[in-house]
Chain A
Amino acid sequence: MESVGNIVMYFIIAIAIIVFSVLTVTSRKILRSATYLLFVLFATAGIYFQIGYEFLGAVQIAVYAGGIMVLFVFSILLTSRPGNSAERLTAHKKWLGLTAAIAGVGVCGYSLLSYGELMARNMSVNLNVDIQRIGEALLSTDKWGYLLPFEAISILLLACIIGGVVIARKR
């Protein structure tokens, strides 16, 4: 039996995710979209906190909410005048998007429901993901170690920095 606070928290997060996701893709003002996305990302971080992955939640807030969102906002401010809103969608386009989204959601939802017993599983209580374990796993070369992906993503990020500079630099 969960604590009432947890349940309330869960519903707030779930409703926030659903509502803001919908608003993100339907808002006609791009800056608002970005803001709604920020809320969605925060709510996602909330999920991570709630299921006990504090480090992941922190990363989510730091990287997504702190880094990526700033990039988004900057680029939006650079590329569109404030107050401009996107034109209305044509019915045709809306229909296309809706069919694709609903088809995807329907198929996935059906398969979720078909795993009824598995889906109804509760969280186990014992969870041991403290920072020390994460740090050791990241830099370990053992069976459950992640040194190689860690180095690979480092190089990827370096390449990305150089690429970004080269692409965006003034000629």
Chain B
Amino acid sequence: MEFSYTVAVLIIPIVMFLFLGIVGVKLSKKTAGVLGTCAMGVTTLIAYAAALTYFFGTEQGQIVDGVRQQLEVMNITWLEFTENLVIKLGILLDPISAMMLIVITTVSLMVHIYSLGYMDGEKGFQRYYAFLSLFTFSMLGLVVATNIFQMYIFWELVGVSSYLLIGFYYTLPAAVSASKKAFIVTRFADLGFLLGILILSFYTDTFDFVTLTSNPGAAIASAGGATFMGCSVMAWALTLIFMGGAGKSAMFPLHIWLPDAMEGPTPVSALIHAATMVVAGVYLVARLFPVYCLEEGTMTIITVIGCVTALYAAAVACVQSDIKRVLAFSTISQIAFMITSLGVARPELHEGVGYMASMFHLFTHAMFKALLFLCAGAIIHAVHSNEMSKMGGLRKYMPICNIAFLIGCLAISGIWPFAGFFSKDEILVAAYANSPVWGIWLSVVAGMTAFYMFRLYYKIFWWNNPDYGHHTPHEAPMTMTFPLIFLSLVSIVAGFIPFGDLVTWNREGLTTHINWGVAGTSTVIAVGAIILATLLYRKENAVPEKMADSCRGLWTAAYKRFYMDELYQFITHKIIFACISRPIAWFDRRIIDGTFDMLANVTNSASYAVRKLQGGSIQGYVWVYLAGAALLAAIAIICII
């Protein structure tokens, strides 16, 4: 195949991970960082070459009769269960995986460059770069997976990388517990994913994406109408698979790990928890979209969860005070947009525009959210705090950061001509096409998005002029500002990419046109929200505090994230731990372990009892020997008599 060089995008990062992981500590920090960044740069070039050739080249059979083909660049058999049930490892190039290659390598490269400045002087710098390489490898392996099992393997690998990077500052208890929380919650969700995979493959006899999606009707029919608890098993399988996706993508109610994951280094948040890993759930649903859209019930579940999450996260984001938390909830909200977009997408509605909108938003969101996170990192780097109350008036000290952050906010709010406008517009079109309820709902959330983003912006860069003392904030170094500028440019122009031609559910071209009715409404809402935020937060004043006071209960509830963490705490500790785990632990410790402890103790004490016999005293041995001989002789005599 002509695309066989694509395998290098997997090999280079894993080799880099092993190299930096094993000999990294022998290298100087600078060498390790530059080496990792250069390797990432090469990976990026290869990925771009592969993706651009795939999209715009014609000579290798990418397009047949106007349909973009799914090219299996490589497919090695790894495990063979039955003739049909074979686990393979390979590389699948199709519109969404090619797009994801671009997203991942771009953001990863920017984060690599940015980290050279941001992580400068940190302990474990080499380890950090090794983990970044591991994550990049895992994420690329996930998106190019040819079958659902390979995806699952890399799915877990990104989970591990995320765990390692969240817990990078492993001396901080908060970071350690955040990493554990992220790992456990996503693992719990992955249990559903694995069950779903098993059910799906049991009935369809295949893991292969191409086989599954090229004839989704047969896949659904393979279950033969089998039902479980009143629902068809295929609906169960797909819902369980979506549960895995919801865990990774931090959908309500499995979102609780993402805000805590902000304990990791900020570039990591930008890469993993904003741009790439958290959209894996969206990617998963998109991957199996032809199968999903035949199960109406599952699609409804996806839509409802997406909408609830979007509103919930937006509401929480409006009141948070930690800038990374605001961005984290904003991420959750935006991913919920993508999920909802997939949920409302139907092939018959506007030629399945929801699917394309979701992928488009994934692309643009990755860019502007990475930009926002990297800006936040620069701000934190300058102010040495995550809290908004410690910031204010930073526009004078950090002009580049100010402009970049403003571009990011405008993009996420959906203002023409920034990237978010186009993708969000398509999502709203898809939502209105499905049902006005979803459309209005998402429009409201889009307005809230604009409001909380500008609240954040004004709180950081305007609001008041606190006395920074001798520690005046200053603009970040070149290594950090370059990614900001680059991503700002991408955020401005990404909206003009003709996504409809490139990424659609049936891989045929799609003519998009801006629906000015929807776009105009949402722009008006966004501008209104921005004006509201400007009035409230541009200059320091008491109005926001009064508003908070007027509905103090709601405000506190939102600030406490509507007590979701407390609810989890209650369920896990009070119900599961106390009523189930503790009796089981008691049984295990007392009955099962106790049996073996008893055996061990008996052996132990028996050994202690006979230990003296082996005292090494010849006289003792002679005594025993003589006594034994006398005893035997006595027995012999008695028997003879």
Contacts and interface: CB of A to CB of B under 8 A. Distances in A.
Contact of B630 (A96, A97, A103): A103
Contacts of B637: 107, 110-111, 114
A99 interface: yes
B626 A104 contact: yes
Nearest to A93: B619
A108 B631 CA distance: 11
Nearest to A99: B627
Contacts of B626: 100, 103-104
Nearest to B640: A114
A97 B627 CA distance: 10
Nearest to A97: B623
A111 B627 contact: no
A53 B270 CA distance: 109
B195 to A, nearest CB: 70
Contacts of B631: 103
B493 interface: no
Interface size classification for chain A: 10 to 19
Contacts of A110: 637
Contacts of A96: 623
B224 to A, nearest CB: 84
Q: Which of B622, B626, B631 has the most CB of A within 10 A?
A: B626
Contacts of A106: 630
A43 B275 CA distance: 107
A104 B631 CA distance: 9
A25 to B, nearest CB: 13
B218 interface: no
B634 interface: yes
B613 interface: no
Contacts of B627: 99-100, 103
Nearest to B622: A100
A108 B629 CA distance: 11
A111 B641 CA distance: 11
Contacts of B623: 96-97, 100
A103 B626 CA distance: 8
Contacts of A108: 633
B369 to A, nearest CB: 83
Q: Which of A97, A99, A100, A106 has the most CB of B within 10 A?
A: A100
A108 B634 CA distance: 9
> Mostly helix, strand, loop or mixed at chain A's interface?
helix
Interface in B578-631: 622-623, 626-627, 629-631
Interface size classification for chain B: 10 to 19
A106 B637 CA distance: 12
A100 B623 CA distance: 6
A103 B637 CA distance: 13
Contact of B634 (A99, A100, A107): A107
Interface in A121-151: none
Nearest to A111: B637
Nearest to B624: A100
Contacts of B622: 100
Nearest to A108: B633
Interface string A43-59: 00000000000000000
A96 B629 CA distance: 15
Contacts of A107: 630, 633-634, 637
A46 B637 CA distance: 33
A111 B623 CA distance: 21
A98 B68 CA distance: 103
Contacts of B629: 104
Contacts of B634: 103, 107
Interface string B62-91: 000000000000000000000000000000
B630 to A, nearest CB: 4
A112 to B, nearest CB: 12
Contacts of B633: 107-108, 111
A100 B624 CA distance: 8
A108 B627 CA distance: 13
A99 B634 CA distance: 14
B623 to A, nearest CB: 5
Nearest to B623: A100
Contacts of A103: 626-627, 630-631, 634
A111 B634 CA distance: 9
Contacts of A99: 627
A92 to B, nearest CB: 12
Q: Which of B626, B630, B631, B637 has the most CB of A within 10 A?
A: B630
Contacts of A111: 633, 637
A114 B622 CA distance: 27
A85 B333 CA distance: 96
A110 B634 CA distance: 9
A110 B637 CA distance: 9
B594 to A, nearest CB: 38
A36 to B, nearest CB: 21
A106 B634 CA distance: 9
A71 B622 CA distance: 25
Nearest to B641: A114
A155 B637 CA distance: 41
A107 B637 CA distance: 8
Contacts of A97: 623
A103 to B, nearest CB: 4
A97 B630 CA distance: 14
A131 B356 CA distance: 124
Nearest to A114: B637
Interface string A79-114: 000000000000000001101100110111011001
Contacts of A100: 622-623, 626-627, 630
A171 to B, nearest CB: 26
Nearest to A106: B630
Contacts of A104: 626, 629-630
A88 B621 CA distance: 22
A99 B630 CA distance: 10
A124 to B, nearest CB: 29
A133 to B, nearest CB: 37
A108 B630 CA distance: 9
A100 B626 CA distance: 6
A142 B460 CA distance: 120
A39 to B, nearest CB: 25
Interface in A7-66: none
B77 to A, nearest CB: 72
B633 to A, nearest CB: 4
A29 B614 CA distance: 30
Nearest to B626: A100
A164 B634 CA distance: 41
26 contacts: A96-B623, A97-B623, A99-B627, A100-B622, A100-B623, A100-B626, A100-B627, A100-B630, A103-B626, A103-B627, A103-B630, A103-B631, A103-B634, A104-B626, A104-B629, A104-B630, A106-B630, A107-B630, A107-B633, A107-B634, A107-B637, A108-B633, A110-B637, A111-B633, A111-B637, A114-B637
Interface of A: 96-97, 99-100, 103-104, 106-108, 110-111, 114
7 closest cross-chain pairs (CB), A and B: A103-B630, A107-B633, A100-B626, A107-B630, A100-B623, A104-B630, A107-B634
Interface of B: 622-623, 626-627, 629-631, 633-634, 637
Given A104-B629, A107-B634, A111-B637, 9 more contacts: A97-B623, A100-B622, A103-B627, A103-B630, A104-B626, A104-B630, A108-B633, A111-B633, A114-B637
